[in-house]
Amino acid sequence: MNQMYAHARFKRFLSLFKAAVATVGKHFYLILFPFVLDLFLLFGPRLSLSKMLNPLIMALPPVPNFTSQFNIRWDEFLKQFTEIIDGFNLFSALRTIPVGIPSLMSQRLGENAFAGSLNPIELSGFGSALISFAGLVLIGLFLVAIYYRQVSKTVRSETTQDALKNQPFLKAYLNLVGMNISVWVLVIVLAIPSTIILGLLLRLSSVLGNIAYMIISILILSFVTPLIFTPHFALSTQCSIRQAVMQSIRLTRKSGILTSTFIVIAISLSYLTNLLWNTAPNSSPFVLVGIFGHALVSTILLAASFHFIVWLEEDETAAQPIIS
């Protein structure tokens, strides 16, 4: 009986991805958010930091024994570093991290498009670069707030649940800004001691270092997994960041292995399809196919996450772990 129950629930779980495909198929405009962003990064102007950073990098003094440790000459290393900066586009900050609009082109360096690149806009001062970065991040968060809310509203309108629960947009936007800032502060606070500990252990023994790395990775996954749906609640329900965190933890605990399974499937689909979308270089017109495919798959996975939340909220029996 338990096996039949588990099989039926898992079958229903997999059908959520089919429901997400149907949602995006009926509301195809949803893919415009990541699609238009990537088109802008491909065909639009490039905001460059080369004029500001390259002279500073080339003026760096040589590091003793650098060649013997890394098997590359210091001048060659600096040249490769400057080439990376030459290909960097500050407009990529529109794809905010950790919560942002999915983007294929924000991960790429080099010339913008096969049609020819516009002259880059050079930023020569740290002040202008910092202001530009902050402004682009705020714009990116504004866009992702609209994107998440629209997908959530569309999914909920197709279910027996009410549509978006009248969360004021300004509050949702401030929730998103506060959440991203909190995540980055937490990452910095935890990264510094973790890096020091790993460095010391690797100095003592590579085995100890690898064991510590595995333990830290497991702890991070255990901490992050229950928080995976925090942005969904913060943007689409009437709750604060703290309440959104508690809602996400409550839902992931009740769902048991389902949440972990959903995350594995979503990450696997995203990673494997990205390998396909990234095969075409920026100079090829087929990069447009990759941009379209990436926007489609990313939006389907986001819709699937909202379908997953709605299912767990509606069906109390589904919220019981398949494996306890």
Per-residue pLDDT of 94-111, as tens digits, reads 999 888 899 998 887 765
Reply yes or no on whether the pLDDT at 322 is more than 50.
Answer: no
Averaged pLDDT, 188-194: 84
Q: Where are the domains of the chain?
A: 2-44+145-314
Identity at 273, one-letter amino acid code = T
Mean pLDDT of 35-48: 89
Higher pLDDT, 113 or 277: 277
- What is the DSSP annotation of 21-61? HHHHHH-GGGGHHHHHHHHHHHHS--EE-HHHHHHHHHTPP
Per-residue pLDDT at 276 exceeds 50: yes
Q: Quote the radius of gyration of the chain (alpha carbons, Å).
A: 22
Task: Report the pLDDT value the prediction gives residue 323, as an integer from 0 to 100.
Answer: 41
Q: Phi first, then psi: what are they for 297, rounded to 5°?
A: -65, -40
What proportion of the chain, given as a percentage, has pLDDT over 70?
Answer: 89
pLDDT at 315: 62
pLDDT the model gives residue 66: 72
The type of residue at 150 is: Q
Q: Is 294 helix (H, G, I), strand (E, B) or coil?
A: helix
